[in-house]
Amino acid sequence: MNNNSVWKSKGFAAEPISEDLNLVEEIERLKKEKNAIIMAHYYQDKAIQDIADFVGDSLALAQQAAKTDADVILLAGVYFMGETAKILSPEKKVLIPDLNAGCSLADSAPAADFEAFVKKYPNHQVVTYVNTTAAVKALSDVVVTSTNALGVINSIPGDQPILFGPDRNLGNYLESLSGRKMVLWDGACHVHEKFSIDKIADLKKQYPEAELLAHPECKRPLLIMADFVGSTAALLKYSIKSDKNTFIVATESGILHQMQKMAPGKTFIPAPPLDSSCGCNDCEFMKLNTLKKVYLALNYEYPEVFVEESVRIKALRPIERMLKISEALKF
């Protein structure tokens, strides 16, 4: 169902919003009126990042969702991020701008198939990346994000076998860093897998002084080529601190907005995918969200994220375990 038919099926106005409406002012008004917080992932459109009360990576969004005292959380990101917020703060109303904002990585691990896979490895600790459905989290012993994944893996005793899913690239990368062999689910993010090594190599020739920054969801050859690998938050931090002035950035292009804001004198070049006319790599799910949809979601308090209570309780445990380990490791 597209967003317009969703509005219609709820009996909400599907008619166009007046051109005169100042969306930013209206969003600010609604935020105060409803005691709402807007939390946005780094992959969101600039306009959304700029009106958000909080912008962060997957871990920071979960940490913020667990501690906010707002009554309403508008999670500008993708569906699994809304679910994570709801699992952590069930008493709050969690809204997302577009119900169709899914995730190819989360979709690569359907819960029934993942459950059958887990059953084949009964003595394994089930470690899942946060980019999964609530139902997959409910099958897990501990959840990780790209910021804390290595720390969480290292916190598990060395003789304890691990099953990791759903991202095979992050899984391979963690194996290489930790020196541990894990049973891996064969899933991936279509955005991070489509960077073109050849085009990036050409860019490196053109900008020999540039550092290549890559997210661990990228394929192995790109990670080997990279000067620094990390989560969106880690890439941002690195680019600010580095004494280099030019960076080729291999992750979703939304992060460049914060990089440019936080290090205005530096040059950030989006790493190109195989097939793009603009030369940057966008996640079409993340980019479904617009300022107008943020306004509509806050105004109508719809679409709302729900997680079935029995699933929520099971999914909460591995997320809380991740937050506890992250706190101990000072993430």
Partner that binds at residue 146, options ligand SF4, ligand 13P, none, CB closer than 5 to 8 Å by kind = ligand 13P
Partner that binds at residue 145, options ligand 13P, ligand SF4, none, CB closer than 5 to 8 Å by kind = ligand 13P
Closest distance to ligand 13P from the beta carbon of 103 (Å): 6
Sequence-separated (6 or more) residues with CB below 8 Å from residue 300:
7, 10, 12
Q: CA-CA distances (angstroms) from residue 317 to 91, 109, 215?
A: 17, 20, 27
List the one residue out of 101, 213, 121 whose CA is nearest residue 165: 121
Size of the site for ligand SF4 (CB under 6 A): 11
Token pair 């790599």 is found at 281
Range 187-226, binding ligand 13P (CB under 6 A)? 189, 217
Q: Is residue 243 classed as helix, strand or coil in its secondary structure?
A: coil
Query: What is the C-alpha separation between 162 and 153, in angstroms, rounded?
Result: 8
- Asked if 286 touches ligand SF4 (CB under 6 A), the answer is yes
- Asked if 252 touches ligand SF4 (CB under 6 A), the answer is yes
List the one residue out of 15, 17, 1 whose CA is nearest residue 295: 17
List the one residue out of 150, 66, 298 whose CA is nearest residue 164: 150
Residue 10 DSSP class: T
Which of 5-13, 109-117, 139-147, 317-325 is the region at the interface with ligand 13P (rule: CB under 6 A)? 139-147
Reported residue count of the chain is 331
Q: Quick one: 125 or 326, whose CB is closer to ligand 13P?
A: 326
Q: Quick one: 191 or 212, whose CB is closer to ligand SF4?
A: 191
Give the residues lining the site for ligand 13P (CB under 6 A): 57-58, 131, 145-147, 189, 217, 231-232
Give the residues lining the site for ligand SF4 (CB under 6 A): 78, 103-105, 131, 189, 191, 252, 283, 285-286
